[in-house]
Chains A and B, each alone.
Chain A
Amino acid sequence: DGGITQSPKYLFRKEGQNVTLSCEQNLNHDAMYWYRQDPGQGLRLIYYSQIVNDFQKGDIAEGYSVSREKKESFPLTVTSAQKNPTAFYLCASKPGQGYNEQFFGPGTRLTVL
């Protein structure tokens, strides 16, 4: 996990505002992922990207957007359309095909007031 950074650790926003969460990795990994974690529900996949300039929706993509303009960066925007945005957001990465282990960043805890 040492090569993945997420900032900030805690984030507070007012309802109706868009907010972008940062995720950077220096592991030279091809694939990157965003998960949302709520108490008792495990990790749910929001978006993932297998290569630069390409990404796919996960199970709960509504109200979120991403970009993958650089291999090392995969920012997540939580839009005002997300009805319940308060959660713990985790970014992960893994090497390309043939490697299944995912490496997680420390997470960002977003609270929308």
Chain B
Amino acid sequence: GQQVMQIPQYQHVQEGEDFTTYCNSSTTLSNIQWYKQRPGGHPVFLIQLVKSGEVKKQKRLTFQFGEAKKNSSLHITATQTTDVGTYFCAYMEYGNKLVFGAGTILRVKS
């Protein structure tokens, strides 16, 4: 079953506002991945973090892996309508299994 909790479940923001989704685990993770799924589409890989305290940026997206490697966040600066979709965190478990969080649905009002 899922061992990562994602919050919030749903967020509706005004275009131009910032957005953050959090991924929390009770155990230390070896890595964390983030995926984006557009409405009606399929998940697309965004990034992987593996180091404690790691921060990576992709244009308006900032990804962070906690110092204890038990939590991660995805922050979007100045959201645009193209950012709508569901954002999932996931981690690779033993046996090559990817375990997904339940996702955060982002809606952007223009």
B103's contact among A1, A33, A42, A56, by CB below 8 Å, is which?
A42
Q: How many residues of B contact A (CB 8 A)?
A: 22
Contacts A41-B102, A42-B101, A59-B1 given; does A48 touch B42 at CB 8 Å:
no
User: Quick check: is B20 within 8 A (CB to CB) of the other chain?
Assistant: no
Which residues 1-40 of A have a CB within 8 angstroms of B? 1, 31, 33, 35, 40
**Complex Cα distance A90/B41, Å?**
10
Contact A43 B100 (CB under 8 A): yes
User: Quick check: is A75 within 8 A (CB to CB) of the other chain?
Assistant: no
Which residues 22-46 of B have a CB within 8 angstroms of A? 31, 33, 41-45
User: Quick check: is A107 within 8 A (CB to CB) of the other chain?
Assistant: yes
User: Quick check: is A97 within 8 A (CB to CB) of the other chain?
Assistant: yes
Contacts A100-B33, A103-B45, A104-B44 given; does A40 touch B95 at CB 8 Å:
no
Contacts A48-B96, A100-B48 given; does A43 touch B43 at CB 8 Å:
yes
- With both chains docked as a complex, state the minimum distance between the C-beta of A111 and any C-beta of chain B, in angstroms: 15
B45's contact among A33, A59, A102, by CB below 8 Å, is which?
A102
**Complex Cα distance A31/B2, Å?**
21
Contacts A1-B44, A40-B9, A102-B45 given; does A48 touch B97 at CB 8 Å:
yes
Q: How many residues of A contact B (CB 8 A)?
A: 27
Interface residues of B, dominant DSSP: mixed
Q: In the complex, what residue of chain A is closest to B33 when comparing beta carbons?
A: A100
Contact B97 A90 (CB under 8 A): no
User: Quick check: is B88 within 8 A (CB to CB) of the other chain?
Assistant: yes
Task: List A residues at the B interface (Cβ < 8 Å).
Answer: 1, 31, 33, 35, 40-45, 48, 50, 56, 58-59, 90, 92, 94, 97, 100-107
Other than the known A50-B95, A56-B95, what 17 A-B pairs have Cβ atoms closer than 8 Å?
A41-B102, A42-B2, A42-B101, A43-B43, A44-B100, A48-B97, A50-B96, A59-B1, A92-B43, A92-B98, A100-B31, A100-B33, A100-B92, A100-B98, A101-B45, A102-B43, A102-B45
